[in-house]
Each structure stands twice: as C-alpha cells, then as structure tokens.
Amino acid sequence: MFSSSTVCIGGLPGIGSVGKVAADYLATALECRTVKPFLSPGFPAQVAISDNLAHLLYVELKMAKGRENLFVLSGDAQPLSVRGMYSLAGEILESLKSRGITDVITLAACVGDGREKVVGVCSDVQAAKELEKAGIPLLSGGAIGGINGLLAGQAPLYGMRGFCLLGTTSGEEPVDLRAADNLLHALRPLLGLDFDINGLVIEPEEVVFSPPAYDTYYR
C-alpha cells in the first residue's frame, strides 16, 4: 500500500498515551535519528527531567536508519490551546512537505467497546478504499481532536495524503500498552516493516504530559 511512498508516522500524547507509546517504540525499533526538533510556546509551562537533567518539551521528526523514505514523529506534549495546535501542525506539515513526504499516518486512541482493535480514517476516497482493502475497518463518523487529528486532516492542504489509525482503548488506563501494541501490529504489514514488538515496555516517568482527551472518537 505504501511501497512507493515516502511516509511519516506520528503519534503525540493523547488518551492512554496510545499514539505516543507506539511512535516512540517504532522510532527505537527502526533506530531512527532526529532530523528536526519542533518547539512551541503553547506547550505546558514545565520542563522534563531525565537522568538528573532538565530539558524543554519538544516534538521530534526522525528518520529510520537506512531508509530515507520513512520518518517517525514523536514528542513530549501537545500545545494546550487550539491556536497553538494549528500553528504547530502547520509547521510540522510544511517541514514534511519540504522533505518529499507523500503520506502522513498519525496514531491515536479510540475510546470504544473493543470490537475492533484498530480502526482508521483517511483524507480521500481512494485512500480509504486502500486502507479497507488492507483489513483496517473505517470509521463512518465522529471526531478526532488534537494534533494527531489535525495532521491527518490537514495533510491534503500540503499535497499529502492523510491517515489516522486509532487503537481501541477503554480510556481508563494512563498508559494503554495493549492498544499501542495493536497499532504496531497493524502497521507492520501496511508498511512492509519487520521489527520485534515483544519489548514494548514503558516506565511511568517516561509519560511526561497527559493532555485532555484529544483523541476521543464520538460515535
């Protein structure tokens, strides 16, 4: 489905940190290196502390080792304001466009009953048909909030296709590893990737900021 594409997979903090955990794990598994950091005055007024050092909250665009056509976007936080979200999303999409990226796939959470482990949405009819043919059930309505939704929705304005894959979660767990694991299992065949998912573990302190329910899908 994406064999001839240049793809960026992104996941920022949201419900259960589902998208963030999946994106962070993918970046590690693919041995990604940072090619561009993004800062925002809309981020929470705090710094993260790791290994006795403080650093600003940021979002990073990373490139997979040995693959110039595969990027991963991950980060510590989302802006707190709507204006900040739109501003950062636009900055990110401009950067993706300049790098020749054709497809933006964001990872998020869908609060539901668990009948489907992963569901998806696309920015155009043809892309939706391709996703459904690949075995990903499509959402027929609702809303996806925050940058994970904005990046997928605004991608066509920058000449790219937009996708959002959502891992179903109860919304009750601060970190839902099972939903993140389901997203990673769905991504592997879509992108023709081969990486081990058995090491999916996250320490509580790695979740720097838990924003409001940005990823919530409403039926």
Residue 20 maps to which CATH number?
3.40.50.10900
- The per-residue pLDDT for 192 is 86
Asked if the structure places residue 213 within a domain, the reply is no
Question: Is the distance from CB of 158 to CB of 93 less than 8 angstroms?
Answer: yes
**Partner residues linked to 168 by β-bridges:** 110
Asked if the structure places residue 44 within a domain, the reply is yes
Edge-to-edge order in the sheet of strand 161-169: 33-38, 59-63, 70-75, 7-11, 103-111, 161-169, 118-122
SS3 state of residue 93: helix
Report the C-alpha gap between 38 and 46 in whole angstroms: 16
Query: What 8-state DSSP symbol labels residue 155?
Result: G
Of 20, 16, 29, 9, whose CA–CA distance to 198 is shortest?
29
Q: How many domains does the chain have?
A: 1
Per-residue tens of pLDDT for the chain, all 219 residues: 676 789 999 999 999 999 999 999 999 999 999 999 999 999 999 998 989 999 999 999 999 999 999 999 999 999 999 999 999 999 999 999 999 999 999 999 998 876 889 999 999 899 899 899 999 999 888 889 999 999 999 999 999 999 999 999 988 888 999 999 999 999 999 988 887 777 665 554 444 444 444 565 443
Looking at the chain, list the stretches that DSSP marks H as alpha helix, in order from N- to C-terminal side.
18-29, 82-98, 125-133, 146-154, 177-191
Report the C-alpha gap between 101 and 115 in whole angstroms: 33
Asked if the structure places residue 216 within a domain, the reply is no
By residue range, what is the domain housing residue 114?
7-205
- The per-residue pLDDT for 114 is 66
Asked if the structure places residue 218 within a domain, the reply is no
**Partner residues linked to 63 by β-bridges:** 33, 71
- The per-residue pLDDT for 195 is 79
Asked if the structure places residue 150 within a domain, the reply is yes
- The per-residue pLDDT for 156 is 96
Asked if the structure places residue 148 within a domain, the reply is yes
- The per-residue pLDDT for 112 is 81
CA 148 to chain centre: 6
Of 46, 57, 64, whose CA–CA distance to 88 is shortest?
57
SS3 state of residue 168: strand
Asked if the structure places residue 119 within a domain, the reply is yes
Asked if the structure places residue 210 within a domain, the reply is no
Query: What 8-state DSSP symbol labels residue 163?
Result: E
